[in-house]
Structure 1
Amino acid sequence: MSSLSANHRSRLAVAVHLAVVALLMAVPVHADTSTPSTTDAMHVGTTGTMGTNIKITQLKSIQVTAGAETTSDQAPTQASLVATQPQSIIGDRYIENVAASTANYTDIVKIAPSVSDVDPNGPGLMESQGLSIRGFQNGEYNVTFDGIPWGDSNDFTQHSTSYFMPQDIGQITVDRGPGSARTLGNATFGGTLSVDSKDPDQRMSVNPFFSVASFNTRVEGVRIDTGKLDQYGGTTAYFSVKNLSSDGYLTHAGLDRQNGFAKIVQPLGKDTTLTFASNLTRLHQNVSLGATKAQIAQYGPNHGLSADPGSQAFHGYNYDKITTDFEYLDLETKWAGWDIGDKLYTYGYRHRGYNGADPNGEQPNGTVYSPTNVPGQRMRMDYRSVGDILRLSHDLGPGEVHVGGWVDRQTNHRLQYEIDDSNGYALNAVPTSAAIDRLMDDSLTDLQTYGEYQWHATDALDITGGLKLVNFRRTLDAQVNQKTGLPIHYAQTWTRDLPSVDLHYTLNDHWSAYAQWAKGFLAPNLNTFFTVDPSMNQVKPESTTNEQIGTAWNSDGLTFSFDAYHIDFSNKIESRKVAGQTLFYNAGGAIYKGIEGEATLALGDGFSLYGNASINRARDKATSQWLPNAPSRTAAAGVLFDSGPWSASLLDKYVGVRYGDSGQTERLGGYATADFAASYVFAHPFADVRDATVSLKVANLGDNKHIYALAGYTGQNGTPLYWTIPERSFELDVSAHF
């Protein structure tokens, strides 16, 4: 049985169940026999972080064709011919045919070179634990949604289970570098994951879908496309609702997730388009903190939480209740020779979290109410971001000028109490005011402006130079500051200028090369304020100097890219205690360097070979020791098949040796996991059904259950905690278009 009670099954989940059943059985929609329009394999979009992100447009599943038409269609990852830094584009064909129906964006991007990630609770069934890009960790790179940077302002991390679901993701681009001056965000330091939503279809359709999988996992949902509404000026829109429920691979680590997404595209005359999008999510998840080696040996590699109410690991004491929203209005227009884009947005995150004081069993029970009562903690975090992105471009001389900027303000309320889990979450202290661990209000205000000129030096050579000016201000007003427990009222402002220059050379219609030099940065985290007197810190933002070269090839039979990089990371923020006070300071840095490549080769008869590989180095300048969670190499290889209604893939991903902590402690051996997927499309199986698709997906085909990551340490004795790879799992998907 799931550790989530029936009380946690939301009304939305019931509505989704009923909608899917009704649509599968009795939707009175007649098949549209008109011929769908096709699109080019590539076109330049405007949703990426640089404003010139390439978008791969795949054929929709309702278009039953003779499989993938080119290797560009079939390639799991590829670089674009206009890229000016190393990147891997993952299109909707991979997301729909290979990724699990429960996958988060973190599960999807792990196939890319220099990227590593494993979800310890099964695909998409837990927040990402250790997504790494070239050794940079969560909080050290940007994540954007339709070009909008998002995340927690305190440390720039993202909650991967709390927002977007794969049914609404059309493409993800992994940019492995700081980008140009047009790249916006707080953590251009380590690159950008650009998640782009799907667009509405031009034809009306109703698409119910259903999945069952291992760990008692179910997904039910429906997507409705209006098609092109000529009577409203060409409006297109789609709406989708999804329900995900699972017990999870880890014991008693269940998850319930409901999501709704809407996107409306409204033409306003010849040169103007207004787009509205909204994403709403409600989540209940039981959260494990990892397991000690002794627990893994005693209870098995899937040890998570307990069913014993007398234990601090009881699943009823360890859970999150989260609701989120994400909305934007995007206006794209032309005026007096200018291309103008303005995107106004807001997103919010509301989190109520509960946990036992020590779920791993080292701290004995006992509270102020009883020596046998279970101690725990209750936390709250509520934040809201409001912002705007303005971009303008104009032809000027032998090139184009680009100017624009980003303003964002996030306000955040955070608190945490010590509680008695056995006594109705009563405050566990005398006086009760002593139970408060933190009670804080903080804000982060960002202002970034840029100017860039792209000079067409010759028909083949573009040289682009730009400058971005960054200003960000933190404030903290706390009755009880984290770490110190004292009140504080403090604010600090940092400014930076970030230049960039790149060269892009087109050798022919299929082949291009580039070179890039750029500055990246990472704003100081809020934890630099967790001290008695933050003014004594005087920390500067961490920064990088990136040098990269690369080349890309794209033809009907072959996609290929290769790059080399050298990153000088400076102003590393560290801390020390002086007279009992924690002080933060800048010290040294690190060198990241390596080579990366990826390729897809057509063999004929629908078969293709895919492979990627990287050799990565990430070492501390002062000690030459490896940085934590930075793999020495990654690789992927596999075979792909697309012919007529059939599609299949067998892909294996390898991640090399890494260390779980600084000082080269907690050595973690390399590991490999193989995934299999196969699907068949039935054309017009019934009178009112345009097509139906059945898919089988198998994750971790070899059933590798070894330890792959350090999860942290226990609070009582500092015993290491670990994550293991979840066992082999199966998924069956069924979908239809009416």
Structure 2
Amino acid sequence: MKQDLVKLWRCVVVASLFVIVFAASPIRMSGQQGPDTTLTGIILDPQGNAVQNATVTVKNESTNAVRKLTADAQGHFSSLDLPAGRYTVEVTAPGFGTTDRTGLLITAGQPQDISINLNVGNVSQQVTVDGSGADSDSIAAQASPVQSLLNARSARSEISSEFIQQFTSPVADYTEIIQIVPGTFTINTNGVGLGQATTSFRGFQDGEYDITWDGIPFQDTNTPSHHSWAFFPGQWIGGVDFDRSPGSASTIGPTPFGGSVNLLSKEVPVQHAVRGTVSYGSFNTLLLDGEYDSGSIGANRKTSLSLDVHRLTSDGFETFNHQERNAGEIKVRYQFSDKTVLTGFSGVLILDANTPDANLPTRDQVAQFGYNFLLNDIPNDPSNYHYNKNHVPTDFEYVGVKSLFDHGWSLDVKPYTYSYNNHQHYTNIGSITTLTDTPTAADPNGYCATIQSNGRLPCGIDKLNSYRQYGETSTISQTSKYGVFRTGLWYNWSTTNRFQFPSDPLTGLDQTLPNFHETYYTNIYQPYAEYEYRAIPRLTLTGGLKYAYYNQNFTQFADDGKTVGNLNGAASINNVAGYHSYLPSADANYRIMNNWSVYGQFSKGSIIPPTSVFDVSTGKVSDLPKPTGVSTYQTGSVLKLKRLMLDGDFYYIKFQNTYSAFNPTDGQGDTLYFLGPDSISKGVELETNVSLWKGLSFYANGTVGSATYTGAGVPSGLWVTNTPANTQGYGLTYQDKNIDLGIFDKRIGPQWNDNGSYHNQVYTDSFSTVNLFLNYTVKNHSRFNGTKVGLSFNNLLNAHDIVGVIPAASPNPLILPDGTMSPYLATTAISGGDQLTQTPGRSVMLTVTFGYTGKR
């Protein structure tokens, strides 16, 4: 552990020095990458012609910070790296009246492109217009924990830094943060932020939607799933842009058709500050966190950085599911000019846990050992927690440049790299069995292959999933009076090493042959182009095309027969796979009134087959399956009144499901893979926030939907697993001066579970989770600004619910009224071997933060 901590500090220090030295070096750059809070626009006269050399003043309505700009000869202006907030834009030009656009909402991670029309008149005339749809007039919108955008072209939710800091647990990860969004379903069985959690929504499971960090997609390399506990802890997240749709052609990633959870790092503050936090609570959970903001430093005051280092330890809610996390991140910003900024980010995390590979208890174990059972501490027992170890170091780095040029052109480039290395040792025995290690002549080394033949049941696993990914994202855009043109490329190259060896859990010695061992690399190219056309002042039409290309070079080594077998004496076999898809998109947004908009969208998406298509005897697959295809249609509306914010959407999605395998009956020839049954997902999502009184607001969202199989010869009409029929979310918040109080309830409706056989096997009833947060924060702009005392309660009512079941038994076919046997409709008897997903018990956390803020 000491070596790991030394590595962690070394990585953070080296990354810091690298970025600072690189940023401060006297090189000339033509790009910038900030937190993407960029404002660009064009100044037009009443006939739609560009007004050159107009003076543009951008003023933050909260801090009164002012930036003065001059439009170029084509009427374009731009301002980089604006802090999120509400702004007034004032435009003056000779021969025209002064025009003020007030209440312009700048959201972290969402660049704004605007056009401003001037009126002819003398310089004393002034015209005031609304900025971004009456956000400044809508008290309800300002107080809402989740924001909706009037210029949205799809169902979109914006989660602010304020909500993350005040109304989530200090140890929460991103899956718990996005639980507030309509329709989302997240459970971490070991407690908030204390295990690998996943989120599902609209019938899409983890791996069927994108997650990005500052616009960079991250995902596993065998399937595009994600690791919530190993990359981006809540301490690093400054906001979330959750797009519950495929987005447009410029939305990059391996699976954006389900949606995109866009995580945003915290902005680098311009003011010097130091904060130290201690959080302690249930399950002996302790978080120590230190943050440092440099403010503007260096001789030219163009460099600033922020740093976070933290350590988390916890026993976990489940028995003996201990966890330890040591992590550090640094973000550095260098301002070359008003039009060019460079940003660098580095995050390093080291995780150690006792979580077994199959980390769900059975009905029998819960009945025998209690609701929170996972592992035991019985000596010589194969499920003893001492035999279950995860060591997971990760890192994520990027350096980005963004630049604004004449004629409305801009360039945004981000090269990046990240890695994941999960090395596990665990037992795979579910029953209570005595464990000995007496060598025999037939079993001199204690290998698992001979353990079972000698009547010794315990068997362990030595498993590795390791990859390194490199890539870049680049976007070129041009803003004119007609609209915005965007084109760019996402490129990603990854190399992977995965294996699983049977292993003696006492000696740690591995079997000679693995269950599987594979190495491979993957190339991904996604070029795209789209145009956002301002057809009339209140209507924008956007169309585009993306080309998704994937190439894999795959090597599998001979194994013990579990996966590819002995390969007829060869050491390995090599396969090459290529997949491609053309993915169009089209959408429209119409502003009915300044505070009311409607939108519609069509988009297509795809996902390539998992690498397991090659997990067949001899490793040869002559006929590769095609990528899964998805078509999405949705429409929605956003309304913002003074004391009411309301938005809703309807979606219809046709999804070709995951892959199934067919083995020829004669045992000869290749295993064939084909797409499973199609499914249709459709539903309605609603969201509102009501301002009740000064500082007091009521928030609610709800969904009603379905995801069912469809088509001839398939289990038509049966539900896709883990798809609630409905969800509801409620929140009552009070925020005034130094006080932030909030109580939130998330109810997940009934759903069906299966074991991958496309049957409605087990019915799971609805459940509800209530969370409560109380905070006092110093917000008086004194030297101790940011000092805070907070108390959080997760699962306040201590509900103990079964929220998911993996059936142990196979379904029994149902006899139909005509006496025939249905191959699809079935029932499954409850079994003691059923694996259960359960809500964790109540957790309470006390947080104390000491903050010190220096002068600007």
Do they fold alike, i.e. is TM over 0.5?
Answer: yes
CA shift, 1:628, in A, is 0.7
SS in structure 1 at match of 2:253: coil
CA shift, 1:111, in A, is 1.8
SS in structure 1 at match of 2:378: coil
Establish whether residue 735 from structure 1 lines up as the match of residue 813 from structure 2: no
Over 3 Å counting, the alpha-carbon distance change for 1:568 and 1:202 in structure 2 is same
AA aligned to 1:414 is R
Q: What is the CA RMSD across the aligned residues, in angstroms?
A: 2.8
CA shift, 1:309, in A, is 3.4
Over 3 Å counting, the alpha-carbon distance change for 1:94 and 1:39 in structure 2 is closer
Over 3 Å counting, the alpha-carbon distance change for 1:72 and 1:280 in structure 2 is farther
Over 3 Å counting, the alpha-carbon distance change for 1:73 and 1:311 in structure 2 is farther
Establish whether residue 561 from structure 1 lines up as the match of residue 647 from structure 2: yes
CA shift, 1:488, in A, is 2.2
Q: In the alignment, what sits opposite 2:741?
A: 648
Q: 2:389 aligns with which of 311, 314, 319?
A: 319
Q: In the alignment, what sits opposite 1:574?
A: 660
Q: In the alignment, what sits opposite 2:512?
A: 433
SS in structure 2 at match of 1:702: coil
Over 3 Å counting, the alpha-carbon distance change for 1:480 and 1:309 in structure 2 is farther
Establish whether residue 675 from structure 1 lines up as the match of residue 720 from structure 2: no
Q: In the alignment, what sits opposite 2:614?
A: 529
SS in structure 1 at match of 2:536: coil
CA shift, 1:475, in A, is 1.7
CA shift, 1:512, in A, is 1.4
Q: 1:175 aligns with which of 243, 260, 284?
A: 243
Over 3 Å counting, the alpha-carbon distance change for 1:324 and 1:300 in structure 2 is same
Q: In the alignment, what sits opposite 1:551?
A: 637
CA shift, 1:166, in A, is 1.0
Stretches of structure 2 that go unaligned for 5 or more consecutive residues are 11-61, 66-82, 87-103, 115-136, 438-447, 811-830
SS in structure 2 at match of 1:110: helix
Q: In the alignment, what sits opposite 2:26?
A: none
Q: What TM-score results when the alignment is normalised by the length of structure 1?
A: 0.89
Over 3 Å counting, the alpha-carbon distance change for 1:670 and 1:35 in structure 2 is closer
Question: In the alignment, is the contact (CA less than 8 A) between 1:292 and 1:360 conserved in 2?
Answer: no
Establish whether residue 126 from structure 1 lines up as the match of residue 195 from structure 2: yes
Q: Deviation string for 1:233-292 (max 9, x for gaps)?
A: 422210010111000000000100011011111111221111100110000011142111
Question: In the alignment, is the contact (CA less than 8 A) between 1:45 and 1:53 conserved in 2?
Answer: no
CA shift, 1:681, in A, is 1.9
Superposition pairs of residues 67-466 of structure 1, within 5 angstroms: 70-128=139-197, 130-229=198-297, 231-288=299-356, 289-337=359-407, 338-361=409-432, 367=448, 368=450, 371-372=455-456, 374-395=458-479, 398-422=482-506, 424-427=507-510, 432-434=511-513, 436-466=514-544
CA shift, 1:116, in A, is 0.3
Q: In the alignment, what sits opposite 1:633?
A: 726
AA aligned to 1:681 is T
The whole-number CA distance in structure 2 between the counterparts of 1:35 and 1:450 is: 38
Over 3 Å counting, the alpha-carbon distance change for 1:273 and 1:363 in structure 2 is farther
AA aligned to 1:40 is G
SS in structure 1 at match of 2:515: strand
Question: In the alignment, is the contact (CA less than 8 A) between 2:138 and 2:640 conserved in 1?
Answer: no
SS in structure 2 at match of 1:325: strand
Q: In the alignment, what sits opposite 1:583?
A: 672
SS in structure 1 at match of 2:787: strand
CA shift, 1:536, in A, is 3.3
CA shift, 1:227, in A, is 1.0
Q: Deviation string for 1:349-371 (max 9, x for gaps)?
A: 11110110224548998843674
Q: Deviation string for 1:116-135 (max 9, x for gaps)?
A: 0111000000001x420111
Question: In the alignment, is the contact (CA less than 8 A) between 2:138 and 2:641 conserved in 1?
Answer: no
CA shift, 1:524, in A, is 1.3
CA shift, 1:79, in A, is 1.7
Q: In the alignment, what sits opposite 1:508?
A: 593
Establish whether residue 496 from structure 1 lines up as the match of residue 581 from structure 2: yes
The whole-number CA distance in structure 1 between the counterparts of 2:377 and 2:798 is: 26
Question: In the alignment, is the contact (CA less than 8 A) between 2:380 and 2:434 conserved in 1?
Answer: no
AA aligned to 1:120 is T
Q: Deviation string for 1:200-243 (max 9, x for gaps)?
A: 11110001111001000010011100112373342221001011
The whole-number CA distance in structure 2 between the counterparts of 1:666 and 1:140 is: 23
Question: In the alignment, is the contact (CA less than 8 A) between 1:78 and 1:599 conserved in 2?
Answer: no
Q: Deviation string for 1:111-170 (max 9, x for gaps)?
A: 211110111000000001x42011100111111011000011110011110011112211
CA shift, 1:511, in A, is 1.7
User: Which gives a bigger RCO, structure 1 or 2 (Cα 8 Å, sep 6+)?
Assistant: 1
Over 3 Å counting, the alpha-carbon distance change for 1:69 and 1:286 in structure 2 is farther
Question: In the alignment, is the contact (CA less than 8 A) between 1:310 and 1:374 conserved in 2?
Answer: no
The whole-number CA distance in structure 2 between the counterparts of 1:586 and 1:35 is: 56
Q: In the alignment, what sits opposite 1:617?
A: 706
Question: In the alignment, is the contact (CA less than 8 A) between 1:342 and 1:390 conserved in 2?
Answer: yes
Q: Deviation string for 1:616-653 (max 9, x for gaps)?
A: 11000132100011111111112110112111011100
Stretches of structure 1 that go unaligned for 5 or more consecutive residues are 1-5, 16-33, 55-67
The whole-number CA distance in structure 1 between the counterparts of 2:503 and 2:619 is: 29
Q: 1:40 aligns with which of 69, 80, 85?
A: 85
AA aligned to 1:566 is Y
Question: In the alignment, is the contact (CA less than 8 A) between 2:639 and 2:646 conserved in 1?
Answer: yes
The whole-number CA distance in structure 2 between the counterparts of 1:39 and 1:220 is: 28
Establish whether residue 665 from structure 1 lines up as the match of residue 756 from structure 2: no
SS in structure 1 at match of 2:612: helix
Identity of matched residues, %? 27
The whole-number CA distance in structure 2 between the counterparts of 1:103 and 1:339 is: 36
Question: In the alignment, is the contact (CA less than 8 A) between 2:686 and 2:703 conserved in 1?
Answer: yes
Over 3 Å counting, the alpha-carbon distance change for 1:232 and 1:363 in structure 2 is farther
Q: Deviation string for 1:553-577 (max 9, x for gaps)?
A: 2355332210000011136532222
Over 3 Å counting, the alpha-carbon distance change for 1:362 and 1:707 in structure 2 is farther
The whole-number CA distance in structure 2 between the counterparts of 1:327 and 1:13 is: 14
Larger Rg: 2
Question: In the alignment, is the contact (CA less than 8 A) between 1:290 and 1:711 conserved in 2?
Answer: no
Question: In the alignment, is the contact (CA less than 8 A) between 1:280 and 1:326 conserved in 2?
Answer: yes
Over 3 Å counting, the alpha-carbon distance change for 1:398 and 1:678 in structure 2 is same
CA shift, 1:88, in A, is 1.5
Q: In the alignment, what sits opposite 2:838?
A: 724
Over 3 Å counting, the alpha-carbon distance change for 1:251 and 1:489 in structure 2 is same
Over 3 Å counting, the alpha-carbon distance change for 1:96 and 1:534 in structure 2 is farther
Question: In the alignment, is the contact (CA less than 8 A) between 2:210 and 2:217 conserved in 1?
Answer: yes
The whole-number CA distance in structure 2 between the counterparts of 1:100 and 1:603 is: 26
SS in structure 1 at match of 2:799: coil
Question: In the alignment, is the contact (CA less than 8 A) between 2:708 and 2:719 conserved in 1?
Answer: yes
Q: In the alignment, what sits opposite 2:794?
A: 699
